[in-house]
């Protein structure tokens, strides 16, 4: 499947892609159990949040603190960035969120198996 999202330019994301990351993070936060993976609007198209996170895996831009906090809050271990400001690159945030989406989807697939708690 070919992505319709803008490409990175020398490791930098267009601002529209950074805004989509923010929107995808909010959709992840509001994602109810047993509901399909959320999507965000990009132009006239709906894009799965996993696609947004994947598109930013190589981005070296710094995540704004307000967005980074939403990512750090989901970590099971404390996170420390490099440098005195604990800055997080979009690549790090995107990798974290990609893993969390995959874990969520996998957990829901497992719950749909015969004999799972949900089916009792």
| Token pair of 9 as six digits | 């330019």
Q: Which residues pair with 47 in a beta bridge?
A: 40
Find residue 67's DSSP bridge partners: none
43-66 pLDDT tens trace: 999 999 999 999 999 999 999 988
The percentage of residues in the chain with a pLDDT greater than 70, rounded to a whole number, is 81
pLDDT, position 85: 54
Q: What is the pTM of this model?
A: 0.83
User: Mean per-residue pLDDT for 27-49?
Assistant: 94
Q: What is the pLDDT of residues 60-85, one digit of tens each?
A: 999 998 898 889 888 876 666 665 55
């Amino acid at each position: 499947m070919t992505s319709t999202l803008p490409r990175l330019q020398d490791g930098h994301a267009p601002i529209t892609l950074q805004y989509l990351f923010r929107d995808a993070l909010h959709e992840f936060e509001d994602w109810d159990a047993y509901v399909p993976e959320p999507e965000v609007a990009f132009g006239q198209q709906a894009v799965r949040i996993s696609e947004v996170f994947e598109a930013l895996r190589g981005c070296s831009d710094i995540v704004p603190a307000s967005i980074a906090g939403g990512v750090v809050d989901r970590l099971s271990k404390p996170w420390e960035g490099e440098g005195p400001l604990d800055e997080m690159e979009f690549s790090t945030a995107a990798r974290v969120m990609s893993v969390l989406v995959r874990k969520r989807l996998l957990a829901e697939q497992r719950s749909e198996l015969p004999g799972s708690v949900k089916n009792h």
